[in-house]
Amino acid sequence: MSFDSLMKKFMSPVGNPQEHIELTSRSSSLDSFIKRFTGMAEESYFFYNGTVELRLDRNHKYWRVGELSNLIPVNGVTDTTHIINISERLVPWSAKVCIAKLLRLIPTETVDGILRIKPLTLEEFTVIALEAKSAHKDRLDEAADIGHLAHKCLEESIEHAIKNDPEHIVRVLINLPQDELATNAANGAKSWMDQHNVRWIETEAKIYSRTYDYAGTMDGLATCDSCQDKACCPEPFKDRLSLIDWKSSNYLNVGYRFQAASYKHAKQEDTGINIVDTWILRLGKNEDEAGKFEPWHLGPEDFTDDFAGFLACLNLTRLVDKVEERMSTQKNYVKSIRKEQKATAKALAKEQEKLAKAIAKAEAKKEREAEKAKIKADAKAAREAAKNETKAIIAEITKENTNEISSGTTQ
């Protein structure tokens, strides 16, 4: 079957004929096939004047389209920086939220004015403890939802400003989320934009570095001015091209700097522009931080070390992936050998069982034949004995008759 015939087989209309994908060429056939059956994003992203094409699958993994339309995996920025171990902070925090949830779930009662734990069976306590175990995941999921809602509001507000405001300034937030904490986070971002006269160039932009072969999504690119707060902007400046990265986490960590540096390098490598500053902004979510933000203002002097940190993470990620792949190959090889050995042992055991059965059958046959021969010999011996006994009787009778005749003659 030819390639186009195969494509037509898969792309043949089902139900509504209008859903049929017209195959105009071999490349368009493959493109339609990839989009329909591999989970790739419907929209491609192009870099370096359209010479590099990236696609994003449903699992948010990047793929570069090769010369023959083959898909080549590309390291994502966020996953790369996740190789930094922050468990020293997360483990105590996880224990803390687990204990807090456990204390909330344990039933209590007041006896003689003293708050006590109600009597519990071991089974009841185990159920409560297992429910409390997921406290850290519940908190992380909740924080992720808040961050997603805040980011969505900011993205839509910035896109609206770029399309409708002559200066590309976010005058008002649109589509504010119903969640109060997400609204607090978005308002924190709006406060920072107002104080720094932010004029947006783009938001949620895909980036790709051809030199280092990694990809990601940059939150935004804008022109900014300094604010009046010396703690935020020690030196006054105006109209600086800046990379913006929103964070709705509870704290800022070094991995965020590495991420931002990777976005900056890729954007500059692709377009040739000079990005001066980087802003990493932690948006306030709780009531105490409502409308506030915690900025990290990074200048050109910070870029070299931060990007070197990202490249170290990228190199380590690829080394880990390479070794894990080698380990997986080795495990699969050992597994296949063990499977082969097991199959061989099973076959040998089967042959041995078959041989044992054959030997047992031969032995049984031999025993039956010996028993049959013995019965035959015994029967023959019995017949001979009976025959001899008959002869002896006849002989005795004959002898007696002879004696009687002899005796009569003598008389």
In this predicted model, what pLDDT tens digit does every residue of 326-357 receive, in sequence order?
999 999 999 999 999 999 999 999 999 999 99
The answer, yes or no, to whether residue 26 has pLDDT greater than 80, is: no
Give domain limits for the chain: 87-298
Alpha helices in 24-86 (DSSP H): 26-37, 77-81
Flag the least confident range among 28-42, 102-116, 208-222.
28-42
Highest mean pLDDT among 58-62, 74-78, 221-225, 333-337: 221-225
Q: Quick one: average pLDDT of 32-56?
A: 74
Q: Quick one: average pLDDT of 188-213?
A: 94
Q: Quick one: average pLDDT of 289-315?
A: 86
More confident residue, 323 or 409: 323
Task: Give the up-direction half-sphere exposure of residue 305: CA atoms within 13 A in the CB hemisphere.
Answer: 5
Q: What torsion do the CA atoms of 396, 397, 401, 406 make, to the nearest 10 degrees?
A: 0
Share of the chain above pLDDT 70, in %: 82
| H or E segment and range at residue 383 | helix 300-410
| Residue 185, pLDDT score | 83
* Nearest Cα residue to 259 out of 240, 246, 241: 246
The CA radius of gyration of the chain, in Å to the nearest whole number, is: 44
Interior/surface letters 231-251, b for 16+ CB within 10 angstroms, e for the rest: ebbeeeeeebebbbbbbbeee
| Residue 101, pLDDT score | 81
- Write the Ramachandran bin of 400: left for phi over 0, alpha for psi from -120 to 50, otherwise beta: alpha
* Nearest Cα residue to 212 out of 64, 67, 71: 64
Please tell me whether residue 335 adopts helix, strand or coil conformation. Answer: helix
Amino acid identity of residue 242, one-letter, is S
**pLDDT tier, 11 (very low <50, low <70, confident <90, very high otherwise):** very low
The answer, yes or no, to whether residue 111 has pLDDT greater than 60, is: yes
pLDDT per residue as tens digits for the range 214-260: 999 999 999 999 999 888 898 999 999 999 998 877 677 889 999 99
Going along 66-156, which residue ranges are E strands? 71-76, 108-111, 114-117
Please tell me whether residue 271 adopts helix, strand or coil conformation. Answer: helix
Q: Residue 129: exposed, middle, or buried by beta-carbon count in 10 A (0-12, 13-18, 19+)?
A: middle
Tokens of 366: 């031999």
In angstroms, the CA 253 to CA 84 distance is 10
Whether 173 contacts 188, CB under 8 Å: no
Q: Partners of 246 in the beta sheet?
A: 281
Whether 262 contacts 77, CB under 8 Å: yes
| Residue 361, pLDDT score | 92
| Residue 40, pLDDT score | 52
Q: Quick one: average pLDDT of 163-176?
A: 94
In angstroms, the CA 390 to CA 367 distance is 34
| Residue 143, pLDDT score | 57
Tell whether the torsion through CA atoms of 295, 282, 54 and 170 is positive or negative.
negative
The answer, yes or no, to whether residue 110 has pLDDT greater than 80, is: yes
Flag the least confident range among 25-34, 55-64, 367-376, 393-402.
25-34
* Nearest Cα residue to 7 out of 16, 64, 22: 22
pLDDT per residue as tens digits for the range 275-295: 999 999 887 655 555 445 688
The answer, yes or no, to whether residue 305 has pLDDT greater than 70, is: yes
